[in-house]
Structure 1
Amino acid sequence: MDVPEHYQHAVIPHIMVDDAAAAIDFYTRAFGASELFRLDGGHGRIVHAEISIEGSTLMLGDPEPPFAPPGATTPVALHVYVPDVDALTERAVAAGAELLAPPADMAYGARQSMLRDPFAHIWIFLTPLDA
């Protein structure tokens, strides 16, 4: 079986959001995401889409059973390494992300921030301190 290179050696997150089209727009503006593709489900809904953030693939779509969107928050955090956590955090907050923890140097060797997107997903962005 030939697994596409961008799926090899990875667990691929697949999140559900109310208004996946708006989420793709937000992730593009806030996190610099690139849309890879989308399958339109009609009536403004997206059955399945994929975006890339810093070379990682994220699947998303409007929820259809058995999936549901998160409530006020989600029990999952998405970690992404980026070249400049401070710049990304500033851009994301300007785009509408909620700042949960500002960029700070962490004991484990990374500068990190934590954000909640308008769709209730928690994101942790990191830049290695030796970068």
Structure 2
Amino acid sequence: MTAKPIPDGYHSVTPYLICKNALAAIEFYQQAFNAETKLVLKMPDGGVAHGEIMIGNSHVMLADEQPQMNFVSPDSLGGSPVSLMIYLNDVDTAFSQAVNAGAIVIREVEDQFYGDRAGTLKDPFGHTWTLATHVQDLSEDELEQKFQALMGQDPQ
């Protein structure tokens, strides 16, 4: 049997999150985002060498910090410039669920100029997530006009 270059069920880009406590992160993602655990490979000390969860239709990989391999968490780095985006059917309910699970609100859910209803939060492990429901399809011209209006410029 020939292996597929991209395994079934995976997308071309799969986030790989490094956490100070990957087992606790998996539990949080289960509570906050209804994640389904697919795989957890534990090190002899009980730490997570590699884990995989599903959020919606997307795989997310994660592991504990391993500084000797230069795998460090956002907490060790003082934050992360990377943000993850989840599209879902009901952003308001999902956002509340994540906050109730322990996420910190960065930006409340509200309608955005680009056609999404979205809000941003930070999980207890330092990763930033934007949750959104797409509510309006816009053409490139409409999007440009809304953006220019937001920037205080006269759309032409």
Normalised by the length of structure 2, the TM-score is 0.79
Amino acid at match of 2:105: L
> Match for 2:29 among 27, 30, 38?
27
Q: Unaligned regions of 5+ residues in structure 1, if any?
A: none
1:59 aligns with 2:61: yes
Q: Which has the higher strand share?
A: 1
Structure 1 residue identity aligned to 2:21: D
SS of alignment partner, residue 5 of structure 1: coil
Deviation readout 1:16-40 (Å, 9 max, x if unpaired): 0011000000000011111111101
- % identical aligned pairs: 37
Instruction: Tell me which structure has the larger Cα radius of gyration.
Output: 2
Q: Is residue 7 of structure 1 aligned with residue 25 of structure 2? A: no
Instruction: Give the aligned residue type for 2:74.
Output: P
How far is the alpha carbon of 1:73 from its aligned partner? 1.9
Q: Structure 2: any 5+ residue segments left out of the alignment?
A: 138-156
Q: Which runs of 4+ in 1 moved over 3 A?
A: none
Please give the residue correspondences for 1:32-51 in structure 2 after superposition, counting only pairs within 5 Å: 32-51=34-53
CA distance in 1, matches of 2:80, 2:34: 22
Aligned match of 2:129 = 123
Greater relative contact order: 1 or 2 (C-alpha under 8 angstroms, separation 6 or more)?
1
Q: Is residue 115–residue 123 contact of structure 1 (8 Å, CA) maintained in 2?
A: yes
Compare 68-77 and 84-93 and name the one that shifted more: 68-77
TM-score, normalised to structure 1, is 0.94
Q: Which moved more, 1:22-31 or 1:71-80?
A: 71-80
